[in-house]
Copies of this chain bind each other. A is one copy, B any other.
Amino acid sequence: MDSTELLNIFNCIGTYGETNNGMYRLAYSDADNDTHDYLFNLLVEKGYDVRTDAMGNIFAEIPSSEPNAKIVATGSHLDTVHCGGKYDGTVGVIAGLFALEKLKTCKLKHTVQLIIFRAEESSRFGFSCMASKALTGNADIKKWLENTDSNGMNFFDASGTSPRDIENAKLDNEHYKSFIEVHIEQGNILESYGLHVGIVSAIAAPTRFCITVKGHADHSGATPMDLRSDALCAAARIINDINHEAYIRKDEGTVGTVGKLDVYPNSMNVVPGEVEFTVDIRGIDKDSVDAVIKHMYYSIEEATQIHHVKFNVVELCNDLPVNLDRSVFQTLVNAAEDEKIPYHEMNSGAGHDAMYMSKIIPTSMIFIPSKGGISHHPEEYSEFDDVILAGQILANAMEKMAN
């Protein structure tokens, strides 16, 4: 398959769920189901052994005839967020297809497989990586039954599956040798280095908090500075402190963000009486993440004293960073060197299906640059040439592992 045909397939996928304001291909929406049908038929036409499981995940294989052949797999997803882009997920499916097409004519000891996962984005049901969670035995069936989309439909209604199906969806890790996911970076590191490929050694895990600051809503003109309990000033101190503490740990790969903040009553002439904000701290070095969290609590204590406010801190999650498989990582490095493609060894700040796959199968990832670091947005963009570069490294590495 030449790159023009591949680009045509990529462009065709981009028509499903396309609007004037970005992509709307939520998990199990008509647009998402149609895209899966299109890919299923295409893969059958191309001569692969293709099956779907109860969730609708697609598995397309070049089977090996060898006894005890294990599976060398790649894969990504096709669903998008609300108002999303055309690259997140799709790029990994296209690179996987590129690799399988290249390996079609090779005689391999192992089976090679492309997995197209369902429901990676959390936009519909509030859970991310639902397929890779199910395939690796990490589904939280109880919560999946409870949570619904904005129309009151839960995952099971929308996908036509049952809790039993999900329990049965788990892959046998004994059958798999490796998994590699190609994905857009969703950040601006590769762009800042002027490189076209990243090879990923670890995936950062988020620790998240929702923090409420309770002060006192007073008249902005009539309340002297020393008689105030200004919730926004207290929050501003925490925001600056988290930012500073994460900044000095930037070489450890740690980041800290206050992305959402709401002020009450939010009026020009009233001292803010209450502020609610979220904190998202991520890293691949747990000690470094913990140091920022410790500093956040210290900063909260200080702000309590200085601004005469009260804090309520709710921890939303506290996940462990994932170190990807060193051997798969090294195979990717060797493949990039074979292909004479300069690469950057890096971490993933965002979560991916590879994070769950790595729990049962030796796993690594390849990143390509996101223009301007933009993702989950209609302006999300990556060079198609970079998808091909990633596909070349992927094919080379899969061939090495399948021999």
Which residues from chain A sit less than 8 Å from chain B, CB to CB? Answer: 185-189, 192, 204, 206, 208, 216-227, 230, 232-233, 235-237, 239-240, 243, 246-247, 250, 253-263, 266-272, 278, 280, 282, 348-351, 370, 372-377
Q: Is the CB of A232 within 8 A of B239?
A: yes
Contact of A220 among B185, B255, B263 (CB under 8 A): B255
Contact of A223 among B206, B218, B349 (CB under 8 A): B349
Contact of A239 among B233, B280, B373 (CB under 8 A): B233
Cβ contacts under 8 Å, A351 to chain B: 221
Q: A349 with B219: in contact, given A236-B236, A243-B233, A373-B227 (CB under 8 Å)?
A: yes
Looking at the assembled complex, report how far the CB atom of A363 sits from the nearest CB atom of chain B, in whole angstroms.
Answer: 18
Looking at the assembled complex, report how far the CB atom of A227 sits from the nearest CB atom of chain B, in whole angstroms.
Answer: 5
Q: A237-B240, A260-B263 are in contact. List 10 more A-B contacts (CB 8 A).
A: A186-B222, A188-B223, A189-B224, A208-B268, A219-B375, A223-B255, A232-B259, A259-B267, A259-B268, A262-B266
Task: Please give me the residue from chain B that is nearest to A257 by CB atom.
Answer: B220
How many copies of the polypeptide does the oligomer hold? Answer: 2
Cβ contacts under 8 Å, A188 to chain B: 218, 223, 227
Q: A266 with B260: in contact, given A222-B375, A223-B188, A224-B187 (CB under 8 Å)?
A: yes
Bound complex: CA A263 to CA B374 (Å): 18
Cβ contacts under 8 Å, A375 to chain B: 219, 222
Task: Please give me the residue from chain B that is nearest to A204 by CB atom.
Answer: B221
Looking at the assembled complex, report how far the CB atom of A51 sits from the nearest CB atom of chain B, in whole angstroms.
Answer: 33
Q: Is the CB of A227 within 8 A of B260?
A: no
Looking at the assembled complex, report how far the CB atom of A374 sits from the nearest CB atom of chain B, in whole angstroms.
Answer: 8
Task: Please give me the residue from chain B that is nearest to A192 by CB atom.
Answer: B227
Q: Is the CB of B259 within 8 A of A261?
A: no
Q: Is the CB of B221 within 8 A of A349?
A: yes
Q: Is the CB of B220 within 8 A of A259?
A: yes
26 pairs, CB–CB < 8 Å, chain A vs chain B? A186-B219, A187-B218, A187-B219, A187-B224, A188-B218, A192-B227, A216-B372, A217-B374, A218-B373, A218-B374, A219-B349, A219-B376, A222-B349, A223-B255, A223-B373, A225-B247, A226-B250, A232-B261, A236-B239, A236-B240, A236-B243, A259-B268, A260-B263, A260-B267, A261-B263, A261-B272
Contact of A225 among B224, B250, B261, B372 (CB under 8 A): B250
